[in-house]
């Protein structure tokens, strides 16, 4: 059983294949956290929690004269509010009498088979082959009768534990939530731990930053209305000495696309607390009697095999248990060409057919018509929201245009930006109140566009009706779903003044409803997410989209860092990556090698390429398909760190059975008369023999991993190499045959 309740010790232990997680209904019925790490037998780990008189620390009234029990030093499963614990809280509630207090004690628990699901928020699911169980622990405040239900999903084979929270107002008067965290994890000693996060900016998303824990609250967050370019809702707590292959690493990945907060606090006693959930900025959520509020899910994983081990857990799990699209496993992703960098908004149906015809010679499967096909849209100052085909541009009509592309043997895709509206649009003129704008104040513009109030039902219904009408009008195979600004002017004309603190979250709930009604009802369409590039690249989005645009920055040398950081939690098969004119001094082969660490495609005008260049692209497209089973389904290894000075950046994909590998290298820093460089593989069978790029001369997996392969030096700057390794036989069997012949 994956969840064990020890009645005598009052412990609850969650067991996966390689990990254990334990809590205890402890003194005075507080729910204490005892352990998370490598698997242990079912024993009471409470011996680790030492009780001392901490001096001037608050003690619960029920403890009477015992001064050794203070919540300010207890490792808790869900930290309380105003109960003598002065560390960061998991909940902040304003009670009906105006008091700020939550005093939750364990009153009930339930264990059941299968994985819980949330009613309004996306979350991971259990596949048929999974062994999954759910634990519900109910905490209750005896005075207010507010219940907090802690939800745990245990995936035994995957070594993953999920957490979510539900707050139920069991009282007879309204209350307000000001803060609600989905996870709280207390470590008894965190002084020698580091915090790793993925900060960035537009065009440089998910860079990697690692900092030692100090006696402060370390905050990773976004208040931009989305998970953002600037931060990502993923953090790692790890040993100070942890590396790619060694050391304890704890991952926390939040399934939420709006404002989020992760706080890691090292306290006065070197205990470390991490909380994660919805950001409390402008969050003030009313719960009427008997109403419930769901917090988003956090996907937790632990590995004692460093960052690579942790990444593999997330990659495997997110490939199978996050997105239900058939394109995740059943259908091979197409090689696409996008019209944006080829024509921007200056195109018509004739131009698009010309691009498609040329792209066909490049081995491209799919033409994507990007921004500019709808409303009055000749630049980015008008037309957003008017989701009607502009037949001055698409003169033959959308249906006929798609037929022409299909007649070439290609598929057709289209771009939308549903959440935004231009002031110069028919939609805004008809419904100015649908845009978020604070009464009496001028709106903050970004790209001369405003955000639609996605919390409003009529806005959601309009988008569902218009976008479904377009998708149902023609043989659409692919949709790029974009959002190109952060949110400001947070206000809904549809809500009273006292509920404006709910707008941020209601926006996200409305967005998920629209996505449910469009994406999940079109299972044969491949959807790709985009947010000014990778500004909303989070697991909740990947619940709907099997792939997401990594960044608007297509420069292949910058992409080395972008792909590196993204890979800490998100698998290659989710990374939108294309070849473009960006990085004009970088060879076309290098651009292709980098784009193969992703979904692969083109962002350029195919009609401007020579026959020779088109032939090269055709060979590259075919090579992407050849290696698809390795790059999309295999294990990923970061072989070098592009944030450290070095002469090359290298990475590797290895099939699960270790029979094939694709090792990729980009030379990034050629030095005059420098040393010979070698790249060492990982993840191979050390006893097996491998051919390298079809050579008859075989190398053992041990040699390839320990000695490595030499990288040519006499090459142009930014050259790239790929080594295709194929297992041939076990090395010891060859040696045995040679001995027998003698």
Spatial separation of the C-alpha atoms in residues 302 and 485, rounded to whole Å: 35
Which of 106, 67, 58, 64 has the alpha carbon at shortest distance from 86?
A: 58
The answer to whether the CB of 145 falls within 8 A of the CB of 61 is no
List the chain residues with pLDDT less than 70. 1, 731-742
**Catalytic residue, candidates 538, 635, 652, 660:** 538
Residues 720 and 618 in one domain: no
- Write the CATH number for 723: 2.60.40.1180
Residues 148 and 278 in one domain: yes
Beta-strand pair 547-549/272-278 = unpaired
3-state secondary structure of 223: coil
Residues 583 and 680 in one domain: no
Contacts of 580 (CB under 8 A, 6+ apart): 341, 554, 591, 602, 603, 604
Spatial separation of the C-alpha atoms in residues 372 and 383, rounded to whole Å: 9
Please say if 538 is a catalytic residue: yes
Q: What are phi and psi of 19, to 5 degrees?
A: -135, 160
The answer to whether the CB of 237 falls within 8 A of the CB of 143 is no
User: Is residue 618 assigned to a domain?
Assistant: yes
User: Is residue 327 assigned to a domain?
Assistant: no
- Write the CATH number for 592: 3.20.20.70
User: Is residue 331 assigned to a domain?
Assistant: no
Residues 654 and 518 in one domain: no
Identify the pLDDT of residue 742.
42
Identify the pLDDT of residue 741.
46
The answer to whether the CB of 338 falls within 8 A of the CB of 535 is no
User: Is residue 328 assigned to a domain?
Assistant: no
User: Is residue 373 assigned to a domain?
Assistant: yes
- Write the CATH number for 155: 2.70.98.60
Q: What is the full DSSP assignment across 304-327?
A: SBHHHHHHHHHHHHHHHTT---TT
Q: Cα 586 to the chain's mean position, in Å?
A: 29
- Start-to-end CA distance of the chain, whole Å, equals 55
Please report the beta strands in 142-174, taking only residues with DSSP state E, as ranges in sequence order: 146-155, 160-169
Residues 293 and 402 in one domain: no
Angle at 51 between CA 50 and CA 53, to 5 degrees: 140
Rg of the Cα trace of the chain? 27
Sign of the Cα torsion 287, 223, 528, 115 reads negative
Residues 307 and 369 in one domain: no
User: Is residue 149 assigned to a domain?
Assistant: yes
Q: Which residues share a beta bridge with 688? A: 730
Identify the pLDDT of residue 738.
45
Beta-strand pair 449-451/420-422 = antiparallel
Number of domains observed in the structure of the chain:
3
Residues 626 and 645 in one domain: no
**Catalytic residue, candidates 42, 380, 613, 619:** 613
Residues 192 and 43 in one domain: yes
Residues 115 and 20 in one domain: yes
Residues 271 and 340 in one domain: no
User: Is residue 325 assigned to a domain?
Assistant: no
- The number of helices, as runs of H, and strands, as runs of E, in the chain is 14, 38
- Domain containing 572: what range? 336-632
pTM comes to 0.97
Residues 458 and 567 in one domain: yes
Spatial separation of the C-alpha atoms in residues 194 and 117, rounded to whole Å: 32
User: Is residue 326 assigned to a domain?
Assistant: no
HEC readout, 250-310? EEEEEECCCCEEEEEEECCCCCEEEEEEECCCCCCEEECCCCEEEEEEEEEEEECEHHHHH
Please say if 613 is a catalytic residue: yes
Domain end marker among 632, 657, 685: 632
Across 480-499, b (16+ Cβ under 10 Å) vs e yields bbbbbbbbbbbbbebbeeee
Residues 411 and 537 in one domain: yes
């Amino acid at each position: 059983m994956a969840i064990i309740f020890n009645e005598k010790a009052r412990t609850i232990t969650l067991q996966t294949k390689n990990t254990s997680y334990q809590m205890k209904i402890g003194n005075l019925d507080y729910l204490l956290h005892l352990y998370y790490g490598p698997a242990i037998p079912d024993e009471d780990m409470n011996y680790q929690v030492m009780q001392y008189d901490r001096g001037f620390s608050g003690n619960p009234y029920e403890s009477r004269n015992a001064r050794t029990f203070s919540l300010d030093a207890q490792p808790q499963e869900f930290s309380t509010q105003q109960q003598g614990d002065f560390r960061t809280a998991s909940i902040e509630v304003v009670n009906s009498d105006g008091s700020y207090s939550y005093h939750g004690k364990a009153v009930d628990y339930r264990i059941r088979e299968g994985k819980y699901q949330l009613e309004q928020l996306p979350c991971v699911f259990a596949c048929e082959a999974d062994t999954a169980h759910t634990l519900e622990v109910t905490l209750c405040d005896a005075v207010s009768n507010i219940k907090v239900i802690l939800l745990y999903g245990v995936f035994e084979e995957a070594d993953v534990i999920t957490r979510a929270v539900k707050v139920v107002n069991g009282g007879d008067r309204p209350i307000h939530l000001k803060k609600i965290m989905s996870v709280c994890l207390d470590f008894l000693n965190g002084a020698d731990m580091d915090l790793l996060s993925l900060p960035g900016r537009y065009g440089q998303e998910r860079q990697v930053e690692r900092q030692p824990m100090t006696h402060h609250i370390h905050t990773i967050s976004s208040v931009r209305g989305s998970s953002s370019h600037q931060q990502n809702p993923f953090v790692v707590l790890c040993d100070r000495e942890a590396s790619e292959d060694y050391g304890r690493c704890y991952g926390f990945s939040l399934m939420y696309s709006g404002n989020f907060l992760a706080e890691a606090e090292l306290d006065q006693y070197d205990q470390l607390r991490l909380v994660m959930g919805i950001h409390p900025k402008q969050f003030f959520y009313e719960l009427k009697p008997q109403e419930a509020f769901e917090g988003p899910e956090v996907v937790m994983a632990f590995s004692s095999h460093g960052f690579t081990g942790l990444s593999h857990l997330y990659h495997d799990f997110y490939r199978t248990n996050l997105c239900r699209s058939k394109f995740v496993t059943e259908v091979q992703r197409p090689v696409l060409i996008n019209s944006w960098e080829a024509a921007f908004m200056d195109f018509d149906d004739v131009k698009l057919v010309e691009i498609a015809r040329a792209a066909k010679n490049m081995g491209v499967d799919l033409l994507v018509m990007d921004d500019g096909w709808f409303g009055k849209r000749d630049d980015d100052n008008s037309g957003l929201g008017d989701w009607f085909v502009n037949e001055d541009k698409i003169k033959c009509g959308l249906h006929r245009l798609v037929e022409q592309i299909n007649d070439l043997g290609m598929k057709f895709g289209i771009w939308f930006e549903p959440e935004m509206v231009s002031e110069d649009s028919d939609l805004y003129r008809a419904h100015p109140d649908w845009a978020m704008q604070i009464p009496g104040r001028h709106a903050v513009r970004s790209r001369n566009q405003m955000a639609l109030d996605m919390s409003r039902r009529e806005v959601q219904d309009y988008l569902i009706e218009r976008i479904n009408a377009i998708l149902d009008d023609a043989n659409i195979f692919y949709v790029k779903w974009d959002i190109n600004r952060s949110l400001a002017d947070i206000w809904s004309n549809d809500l009273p003044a006292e509920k404006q603190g709910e707008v941020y979250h209601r926006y996200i709930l409305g967005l998920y409803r629209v996505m449910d009604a469009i994406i999940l009802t079109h299972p044969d369409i491949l959807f790709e997410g985009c947010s000014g590039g990778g500004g909303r690249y989070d697991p909740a989005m990947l619940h709907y989209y099997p792939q997401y645009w990594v960044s608007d920055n297509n420069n292949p040398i910058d992409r080395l860092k972008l792909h590196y950081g993204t890979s800490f939690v998100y698998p290659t098969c989710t990374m939108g990556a294309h070849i473009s004119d960006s990085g004009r001094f970088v060879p076309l082969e290098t651009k292709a090698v980098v784009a193969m660490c992703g979904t692969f495609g083109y962002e350029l005008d195919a009609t401007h390429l020579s026959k020779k260049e088109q032939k090269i692209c055709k060979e590259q497209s075919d090579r992407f398909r050849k290696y698809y089973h390795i790059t999309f389904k295999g294990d990923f290894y970061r072989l070098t760190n592009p944030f450290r000075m070095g002469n090359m950046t290298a990475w590797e994909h290895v099939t699960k059975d270790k029979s094939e590998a694709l090792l990729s290298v980009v030379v990034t820093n050629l030095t005059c008369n420098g040393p010979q460089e070698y790249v060492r593989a990982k993840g191979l069978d050390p006893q097996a023999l491998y051919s390298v790029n079809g050579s008859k001369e075989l190398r053992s997996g041990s040699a390839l991993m320990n000695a490595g392969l030499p990288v040519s030096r006499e090459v142009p700057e930014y050259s790239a190499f790929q080594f295709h390794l194929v297992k041939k036989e076990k090395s010891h069997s060859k040696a045995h045959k040679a001995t027998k012949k003698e």
